[in-house]
Amino acid sequence: MTSAGYICTQEMHEESLAIHGPFFVMDVLENFHSEVKESNGQVEGGGVSVYYSHALQLLFFSYSSGKSFVAPLPYFEKGYQGLPQLFMISWGKKKEGAAATAPQPLCQWSEVPNHPGLVFSVMQNSMSFC
């Protein structure tokens, strides 16, 4: 994930081996969700965190705007350009009369050992970085 919020992908094959020297990852994985907005060359204020669970075949990612998402990412054929399904992660409810607080992005994603399917993350404090 770039600092501008774009998720880049690279198909692994013979030409991408390290013995051939450096190469640039140029393919961008499109995410089509009504909550994802692009402005001034940045997606949702920029990327914060990205995590791929191989066991679950899920991609987790978050943006500076505080929005976090999960998307199924099964094996895809060459030419695949986007995420067919994208789900926004939300939690908690605002208490009546409580002051509105800006949502914080999730980061430091991890899977719980010996508990298949259980993924956890921490909420980024707006004053620090993951």
Confirm if 86 and 33 have CB atoms less than 8 A apart: yes
> Beta strand 42-43 with 38-39: parallel, antiparallel or unpaired?
antiparallel
Q: How far is C-alpha 1 from the geometric centre of its chain's CA atoms? A: 7
Give the DSSP H/E element, type plus range, for residue 105: none
pLDDT digits (tens, 9 = 90+) for 1-22: 888 988 888 777 787 777 877 7
Q: Cα–Cα distances in Å, from 80 out to 32, 75, 76, 99?
A: 13, 10, 6, 43
pTM: 0.79
- Of 12-16, 27-31, 38-42, minimum mean pLDDT range: 12-16
**Where along the chain do its domains lie?**
7-91+102-123
> Beta strand 106-111 with 119-123: parallel, antiparallel or unpaired?
antiparallel
Distance CA 118, CA 115 (A): 6
pLDDT digits (tens, 9 = 90+) for 57-67: 899 999 988 89
Residue of 76, 80, 85 whose CA lies nearest to 33: 85
